[in-house]
Amino acid sequence: MAMPMSGRGSRSRGSAPWSSVPPDLARRLQPIAGVLVRDAVQEIRRSVPAYAQPLEGKFREVLVGSVETAIFQCFESIVDPDAPTGDWQAVLRYSGRVEFLEGRTMDALQNAVRVGARVVWRHLSEHGRELGLPSDALFAVADAIFAWVDELCRVAVEGYTEAQAGASGALERRRRQLLKVLLGESPASARSLADLAASTDWRLPERVAVVALEYREDQHQLPSPAFGRDVLLDLESSEPCLVLGGPADRRGLEAELRGRRAAVGPVVPLADARRSLGCARRALGLVRRGLLPQARVTWCEEHLAVLALLADEFLVEALVGRALEVFAHLTAKQRHRLETTLLAWLGTRGGVVEVAARLGVHPQTVRYRMHQVERLLGDRLDDPDERLALEMALRARLLLHDAKPVERARAGVTALPSRANPPAADPGVRKPPAANPKAVNSPAANPRTANPQPAQAIRPARGPAPRPRHPARSPADPR
């Protein structure tokens, strides 16, 4: 029988189940060993559905060989309770491994052992009575057989679980390899991806989202998340990540991560999985720098504007330097006031009251600051491309350099809200008194025009406004 043997193995002195059976009994029953093997194999094939197949090939080798080893070892152990155990244990452990690889369950394996043991006991009890053995001797044989069944099952199950663990480890290695191929710099062919996915129990989805996890020194000691088979995992590398086969279940994902910081990239076609990962990793970096809100799980789809704006910080810095060069000669305080006012103006429809409410200042202060801005920028405020460049540069400057959280919220930068949804006013800033439309629109209140204008207009829609030679200072904004 072609099975691996482990040598002579260890001896089990005094603890063998056969030590209480008289050796003479084994010598008298040993001639029927062949019959026991034949009948046990037949009964196993008849009673256990998983073994109801032709007795040939590998199946015959393992089943018949295991039954023979168990029965002959039984008689040998009765004659010599200290007989070596290594050989039969190797055979049973090998049988357990084959059972797993052949796709049979552990329950089927243990049922087969118990069915065979019942056949052996039935024959031994019948022949024992024919030989006139006393009842005490038969009871001793029964006890030994039941203990032997437990020992056989234990060894066979060891082999089964070893094979199971090895297969699981190999499967996880293939799944990690698939993850690396999906996220690699060089795109893999559709055929190679399909072949690798088929060997890893992973159905290739059309769209995926990649989750970047923050590296932790103790990540090897954290409990493993219980994700389904549709999630590819790399929790051990210096850049841990997950690949989700489609849109994520927010509540379930956050619960499984157990407080671990992560960023979820946008859902993309399978071929763009690497881009989703890059977006998620940038988001994690921005969270660490305080440029995105502090959260355990950051969803990139909620911060696409900031991610796009800061995707290339070298270009952003160049844009800031060019677009805001006219403010460079001002003091830091003057520059900050004018830039935040201009950004609020660009982020609204130009209404003086709306800009003043957003900044928490008096409407006349807004008018005064915007007069200064117009003198510095001139016709650039009439050019849509220039206005876009100015807004991008101002938002980037606030994100990267200047703003405290309250100032970002006041200017509407942290989440880059739409113009229709400005951020709430800062509760720490006193709300200005309601403006009197008549006073705001009077020529005295607006030195830039001699004709009354609508309350929301700060400047004409086109062309620079006439500039007073010596503009009056606003009491609300002393320099």
Q: What percent of the chain has pLDDT over 70?
A: 76
What the block records as the tokens of 306 is 């900031």
Question: CA-CA distance, 24 to 40, in Å (whole number)?
Answer: 24
DSSP 371: H
Q: What percent of the chain has pLDDT over 90?
A: 16
* Amino acid, single-letter form, for residue 260: R
Residue 298 pLDDT: 93
Predicted confidence band of residue 313 (pLDDT cuts 50, 70, 90): confident
Q: Is 231 left (phi over 0), alpha (psi -120 to 50) or beta?
A: beta
pLDDT tens by residue, 36-56? 889 989 999 999 998 998 888
Residue 168 pLDDT: 67
* Contact assessment for residue 213 and residue 238, using Cβ atoms and an 8 Å cutoff: no
Check whether domain 205-306 has CATH 3.30.70, yes or no: yes
User: Angle formed by the axes of helices 332-346 and 352-359, to 10°?
Assistant: 130
pLDDT tens by residue, 164-193? 777 667 778 788 888 888 898 887 788 888
Say which CATH architecture domain 23-168 belongs to: Orthogonal Bundle (1.10)
Residue 278 has pLDDT above 90, yes or no: yes
pLDDT tens by residue, 60-70? 888 888 888 88
Helix (H, G, I), strand (E, B) or coil at 105: coil
Report the range out of 239-248, 320-329, 421-430 with the highest average pLDDT.
320-329
pLDDT tens by residue, 128-161? 787 777 887 778 778 888 888 888 888 888 888 8
Q: How many CB atoms lie within 10 A of CB 469?
A: 4
Helix (H, G, I), strand (E, B) or coil at 285: helix
Nearest to 115 by CA among 81, 88, 152: 152
pLDDT tens by residue, 416-441? 433 334 444 433 334 444 444 444 34
- Residue spans per domain, the chain: 23-168, 205-306, 315-441
pTM over 0.85: no
Predicted confidence band of residue 18 (pLDDT cuts 50, 70, 90): low
End-to-end Cα separation, the chain, in angstroms: 100
